[in-house]
Structure 1
Amino acid sequence: MRALIVDDEPMQIQGLLRHIRWEALGYRAPLTARSGMEALAILQENKVDVLITDVAMPGMTGIELLARIQADYPQQQSMQTIIISGFDEFEFVQEAIQLGAKAYVLKPVKTQELEQKLEALRAAAEKKKLLEQETALLKEKVTESREVLLERFIKDLTGGWIHSDELLDSWRRLLDLPAGDWQATLFLFDCDSLHLHHSHDAKEQILLGEGLQNAVKLGLAGFSGAYIGKAGAGESAVLVLEAVPQVRASLEKQLSFIQEVLQEQYGASVTVGVSRMACSWTEIPLLYKEVRHMIADARLAGYGQIVYCDRHLMNEYHDFRLREEYIPEIVKLIELGENSKASAYASHAFEMMLAGEPISFSYVQAFGMGLLSELARKLKRNQDTDTETNILMWQRLIDCTGVEEVRKVVLEYLVHYTQHKQKEQTAQQHHLIQQVRQHLAEHLQENLTVKQLAGLYHLNSSYLSVLFKKETGQTISEYVQETRMNKAKELLRDPGIKVYEVAEQVGFQTAAYFAFLFKKTTGTTPQEYRDYHY
């Protein structure tokens, strides 16, 4: 590894060169620079692993040097930094850490302490390099193994994780899959034992899962249009593309063979579900859900069956999906603030019901009432206006005579619910941020971190930062700095308060850093500001 030492004091550089055991720590002889500009020139031409820089240097400070590197030297982004500072410059170090510095040491520099920092940075760099090598090796292995790729493809496709034509096309190229849209059938092999006995033995689960997968591969060997992978624990999924009736019939004859192999080898029964024909790859996640529902329903009558999809089972599944999937999903989207997605999902639910002709109006009405009931339960308010609105919507639903009327009432209620929820959420957020601002203003002398501040209000620190910026237009640190400067200006009106006392009262540990930041903000030093204005 290579280090660069930046310090305007030649004796400091020579001391580090002479007393640090560079070679023993795994470093080449360091590069050196006596100014920030000289360091930038070196970084332009050389790859540096560790930068060791003093904070206080004429011309360009160590902090300014870090900011320039971060902005203009992308080739050095992996470089790690150690800051050297005097005790009175500690607050400068905090700013350096925000710019990515990994460690700091105080003057006078202790050889052992700096060597420990260098050794830790080298160890971290080696771990990162090892991880990168392992990741590259994994990518190479995965690319070479068609079986691994195919299993991942089937799992992602049935799970709905392939969500765009572009992503599917990349899988097509990787696995040499047929072009165009697919006529697809899904065969799902599900090991009964793992579901019935809820095995807590990891070895048994692995053996049964791998045994099922091997039996499926053996039974369906030679079928060029069959793509085999794992869909879930104890499940093997086979996607059959563009199969003519004769090929599909031959494939179906192997289903019993696969069941027999599992029974003989492992004493385990397997239920097989055969889906309907899908005309688009986008339907495959739905096929998977339909077939799983079929298998669960079939097990009520016995195990080890071969179940074929029919219109009755499809309608039954769609009814189940509307009750158990659509209503919770709509409510979840609204709770997450995804209001437009919730409305689109509700519209899609109605389209699903209309597609399943003949459709019972009472069923559609019951779906609407179920959704309204769930939303009304979530709406935890006691105002008369909400109660009146709920009663009104219920009455309108009861009075509906057609499916389109039900759809209209439900979508109107969704708009009403989301508007109320948005107002409530906005009011809560506004009140919260006002409390945070007041707390910060009253505790300027305390150097609270965002994490500590968030802990006071039982919030995630990232979430608080986002809310604060959204409400005020400033980050928390920007607000604190502005509030401190305003308070400082107010205190400077009193000539009886010394500048260092002003610094302490607005939360700065040193008058030097206060003066630096005050001048950076106002263009004048605190004393100049006092003399000019008062």
Structure 2
Amino acid sequence: MIQALIVDDELMQVQGLVRHIGWEKLGYHRPLTAQSAEEALSLLAAHKVDVLITDVLMPGMTGIELLAKCRSDFQSLQSLQTVMISGYDEFEFVQEAIHLGAKAYVLKPVKTEELETKLAVFRDSIEKKNRIEEETNNLREKVTDSYEVLQERFVKDLIEGWIHSDDLLESWRRLLELPLGEWQPALFLFSYDQLLLSGPYDAKERIMLSEGLLNCVKLGLSEFSGTYIGKTGADEVVVILLNVSPHDRVRLAKQLTFIQDVLREQFNASVTVGISRECSCWEEIPLLYKEVRHMLAGARLSGYGQILYFDHIEMNEYHDFRLREEYIPEIVKLLDSGESGKSGESGKAAAYFDHAFEMLLAKQPVSFSYIQAFGMVLISELARKLKRTKDTDAEMNILVWQKLIDCTGAEEVRRAVLDYLAQYTQLKQKEQTVQQHNLIQKVACYLEEHLQDNVTVKQLAEQFHLNSSYLSVLFKKEMGRTISDFAQEARMNKAKELLRDPSIKVYEVAEQVGFQTAAYFTFLFKKLNGTTPQEFRDYYY
């Protein structure tokens, strides 16, 4: 059952809620009670509480401050369901509580039916959350118990590069009892070609084809140890061999035709098989997968149902493709992204370029003209991204192109391009800083012009076509304070300006700066300035 805590300095209010709410019928234990926020904190530390019902205004610590304390001091209370009880004139206080995570509020005098409705909603939400946690735990146990599920996940993580450290690999080694020592892995990729189906191709048939391919590969390779099989798509299965002898590799290759024949007979579908080169470390497995997929895509132009071996010619073709279609776009993306102002992103781009450059040098024979061309294509792509300003004119690009033409060795090309990447990063940082400054100044002006509208961060983000979290981070970085703090300060400054005019009543000042009630305006004004609005007016003017 669910545990609630009622906090109110009025004993009659507490007793009334305990007595008149049908707690047991709603699925709740008899509620805990406290007559101060300080007493409530002691109970929260000692008991598991699911629902907090608290008055807004109490002597000492308010209900809002209590909720803020729960969020900051109790990790276990981050999802605490909270109802705020308030008088009509205290609605602005409730708005602040909602910002802190309160889920509901009720007005005094409290109506039993209204509070019971909210408690029932909370109960359903808590029960759903508990069921999800239970199902997640059950799933975790099932996954641990299922070797095939684990094996398939291992294969998928390997080829997608998610296993990126020795520690993570070691955890998989323990889980699947993988072979010890260094591996010399190879990869087999089974992929459906164009399906030769006589009837319509529906969802059910697609599932059958996908499972049929997986089962057929498992059956065909069942006698080989050290093979790990996983489905990487509806039409594709990957087999990873961690250590396989030359004799077993020959035997395994003979099974490929058998698998192709069975799938053609059973499903009227042809399958092409790609066999990778061998490599000396597990970190290369994602590259093996990309190489074989690229090989299959090109080979299908000449026919289906083939068995293909990745060789040095294929490797050179794939390296050219990768430099053109992967490395240059990725370097440009890293330098031109919204995160380019961070030194980490420019460092990644330089490292990525170095890796691509090493690939060029690894080609035999090494073509110096190709190396020069690679540098010029990369610089051309980056040059198109820069805005033409007094800092970034065509002269800079002409100078680096001339420098590349004058290079006589590969290392000179490398240094020239890396120098350009560093200059590009600095220019993009300046460009981005100016754009962000102008944007945040527009946001600040908009806030000051719409104080009466109580604009939310979400509305601001929509107005300026930004993600709300990104806008909040940019604003604080530029202005040194959060959007809500800036808006609150702007309201107070505008209020002080209006209070200079004695013909404007205090409640009118509150309305003009975006407060729905004069009571909350007075409370907040005194909290921030040490005097009430009327005292401020009387003292200064």
* Pair 1:194–1:406, CA change in 2 (3 A): farther
1:288-344 alpha-carbon deviations (Å, 9 max, x no partner): 111111222222222111111211111111111111111111111112122221121
Q: Partner letter of residue 83 of structure 2?
A: I
Residues 1:74 and 2:60 are matched in the alignment: no
8 Å CA contact retained: 2:386, 2:392? no
Q: Residue 237 of structure 2 aligns to a residue in which SS? A: strand
Structure 2: which 5+ residue stretches go unaligned?
none
* Pair 1:42–1:434, CA change in 2 (3 A): same
Q: Residue 192 of structure 1 aligns to a residue in which SS? A: strand
Q: Residue 124 of structure 1 aligns to a residue in which SS? A: helix
User: 1:450 — aligned with what?
Assistant: 457
Normalised by the size of structure 2, how large is the TM-score?
0.93
User: 1:474 — aligned with what?
Assistant: 481
User: 2:243 — aligned with what?
Assistant: 242
Identity among equivalent pairs (%): 70
User: 1:523 — aligned with what?
Assistant: 530
Q: Residue 141 of structure 1 aligns to a residue in which SS? A: helix
Q: Partner letter of residue 357 of structure 1?
A: Q
Q: Partner letter of residue 409 of structure 1?
A: A
Aligned pairs for 1:403-442 within 5 A:
403-442=410-449
User: 1:46 — aligned with what?
Assistant: 47
Residues 1:139 and 2:171 are matched in the alignment: no
Aligned pairs for 1:453-464 within 5 A:
453-464=460-471
* Pair 1:196–1:367, CA change in 2 (3 A): farther
Q: Partner letter of residue 168 of structure 1?
A: L
Structure 1 distance, partners of 2:57, 2:395, is 68
Structure 2 distance, partners of 1:180, 1:474, is 54
The offset of 1:530, in angstroms, is: 4.2
Structure 2 distance, partners of 1:331, 1:203, is 42
Q: Residue 318 of structure 1 aligns to a residue in which SS? A: helix
Structure 2 distance, partners of 1:445, 1:377, is 44
Structure 1 distance, partners of 2:76, 2:267, is 57
User: 2:226 — aligned with what?
Assistant: 225
User: 1:119 — aligned with what?
Assistant: 120
Q: Residue 322 of structure 1 aligns to a residue in which SS? A: helix
Q: Partner letter of residue 474 of structure 2?
A: L
The offset of 1:442, in angstroms, is: 2.3
* Pair 1:324–1:76, CA change in 2 (3 A): closer
Structure 2 distance, partners of 1:476, 1:69, is 23
Further displaced range: 346-355 or 23-32: 23-32
Q: Residue 349 of structure 2 aligns to a residue in which SS? A: helix
Residues 1:297 and 2:298 are matched in the alignment: yes
Q: Residue 378 of structure 1 aligns to a residue in which SS? A: coil
* Pair 1:221–1:524, CA change in 2 (3 A): same
Q: Find the partner of 2:362 among 347, 355, 376.
A: 355
Q: Partner letter of residue 52 of structure 1?
A: I
Normalised by the size of structure 1, how large is the TM-score?
0.94
8 Å CA contact retained: 1:7, 1:53? yes
1:265-302 alpha-carbon deviations (Å, 9 max, x no partner): 11222111111111111100001111111222222222
Q: Find the partner of 2:384 among 355, 377, 383.
A: 377
Structure 2 distance, partners of 1:195, 1:135, is 41
The offset of 1:76, in angstroms, is: 3.6
Structure 2 distance, partners of 1:293, 1:84, is 64
* Pair 1:435–1:250, CA change in 2 (3 A): same
Aligned pairs for 1:205-220 within 5 A:
205-220=206-221
User: 1:506 — aligned with what?
Assistant: 513
Structure 1 distance, partners of 2:133, 2:114, is 29
The offset of 1:120, in angstroms, is: 0.7
Q: Residue 384 of structure 2 aligns to a residue in which SS? A: helix
Structure 1 distance, partners of 2:347, 2:195, is 40
1:33-74 alpha-carbon deviations (Å, 9 max, x no partner): 222223223323322221111111122211122122223333
1:129-181 alpha-carbon deviations (Å, 9 max, x no partner): 11111111111111111101111110111111222222211111111112333
Q: Residue 228 of structure 1 aligns to a residue in which SS? A: strand
8 Å CA contact retained: 1:150, 1:229? yes
Residues 1:15 and 2:16 are matched in the alignment: yes
Structure 1 distance, partners of 2:418, 2:78, is 50
8 Å CA contact retained: 1:185, 1:277? yes
8 Å CA contact retained: 1:158, 1:231? no
8 Å CA contact retained: 2:84, 2:94? yes
Count of aligned pairs: 533
8 Å CA contact retained: 1:193, 1:268? yes
Structure 1 distance, partners of 2:353, 2:44, is 57
8 Å CA contact retained: 1:515, 1:525? yes
Aligned pairs for 1:267-306 within 5 A:
267-306=268-307
Q: Residue 161 of structure 2 aligns to a residue in which SS? A: coil
8 Å CA contact retained: 2:56, 2:62? yes
8 Å CA contact retained: 2:6, 2:34? yes
1:340-368 alpha-carbon deviations (Å, 9 max, x no partner): 21121112111111012211112112212
The offset of 1:86, in angstroms, is: 0.9
Structure 1 distance, partners of 2:426, 2:281, is 37
Q: Residue 509 of structure 1 aligns to a residue in which SS? A: coil
Q: Residue 445 of structure 1 aligns to a residue in which SS? A: helix
Structure 2 distance, partners of 1:483, 1:233, is 57
Structure 1 distance, partners of 2:10, 2:178, is 66
Q: What is the RMSD of the two structures over their aligned residues, measured on CA atoms?
A: 2.2
1:228-269 alpha-carbon deviations (Å, 9 max, x no partner): 112333111111122222222222221111112112211222
User: 1:61 — aligned with what?
Assistant: 62
Q: Residue 500 of structure 1 aligns to a residue in which SS? A: helix
Structure 2 distance, partners of 1:194, 1:462, is 46
8 Å CA contact retained: 1:84, 1:105? yes
Q: Partner letter of residue 485 of structure 2?
A: E
Further displaced range: 389-398 or 130-139: 389-398
Further displaced range: 55-64 or 31-40: 31-40
The offset of 1:494, in angstroms, is: 4.5
Structure 2 distance, partners of 1:367, 1:218, is 46
8 Å CA contact retained: 2:7, 2:33? yes
